[in-house]
């Protein structure tokens, strides 16, 4: 879909189409709908990013808590969102061996206990080895540093999900 089509979507269609670009947080896209028309994909991405940045820390943590554990129960039960299922599968989270699964569960549990939200990384830009390494390394961060890092990862995920729906600006000109 091109940006003019995005701009012509009704509120309901806009939220239906983009409601999961920030995992299980349709209120984020609902809040930016009034800012239409968006000049281009970059403008849409910037509006979402600005809204996230403007949230109080409790709001940011709320967004983080909406994310599932990597290779967690939702993946095992098949209850992940379509986007998360694809992203985790591409990163190898759906094909962990028993030892990796146990390690991932332990690290996820320790991380969540320490920070109060699940470990978030843009799975589409990583593989299982990088994810396990980052999970271990980032567990040593301060609360403030890790929350900021996790929000940056949310923005990466969001931008990639938007690019799966909206044609990049260069393609609109072809």
Per-residue pLDDT tens over the stretch 65-100:
999 999 999 988 989 999 999 999 999 999 999 999
Architecture of domain 68-161: Orthogonal Bundle (1.10)
pLDDT tens-digit readout, 163-173: 999 987 655 45
Whether residue 149 lies in the annotated active site? no
CB atoms within 10 A of CB 87: 23
* Domain residue ranges in the chain: 3-62+165-172, 68-161
Whether the domain at 3-62+165-172 and the domain at 68-161 fall into the same CATH topology:
yes
Length of the chain counted residue by residue: 174
Domain 3-62+165-172 fold is UraD-like (1.10.3330)
Residue 116, sorted as left (phi over 0), alpha (psi -120 to 50) or beta, turns out to be: left
| pLDDT of 123 over the 70 cut | yes
Number of neighbours of residue 118 by Cβ within 10 angstroms: 18
Residue of 67, 138, 147, 161 with catalytic role: 67
pTM of this structure: 0.94
């Amino acid at each position: 879909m091109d940006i003019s089509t995005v701009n012509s979507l009704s509120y309901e269609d806009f939220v239906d189409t983009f409601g999961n670009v920030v995992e299980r947080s349709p209120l984020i896209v609902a809040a930016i709908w009034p800012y239409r028309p968006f000049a281009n994909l970059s403008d849409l991405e910037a509006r979402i990013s600005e809204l996230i940045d403007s949230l109080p820390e409790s709001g940011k943590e709320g967004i983080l808590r909406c994310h599932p554990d990597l290779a967690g129960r939702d993946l095992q039960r098949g209850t992940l969102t379509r986007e998360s299922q694809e992203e985790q599968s591409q990163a190898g989270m759906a094909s962990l061996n028993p030892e990796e699964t146990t390690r991932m569960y332990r690290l996820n549990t320790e991380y969540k206990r320490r920070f109060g939200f699940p470990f978030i990384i843009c799975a589409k830009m990583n593989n299982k080895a990088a994810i396990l390494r980052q999970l271990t390394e980032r567990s040593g961060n301060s609360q403030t540093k890790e929350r900021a890092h996790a929000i940056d990862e949310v923005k990466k995920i969001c931008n990639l999900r938007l690019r799966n729906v909206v044609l990049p600006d260069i393609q609109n000109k072809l």
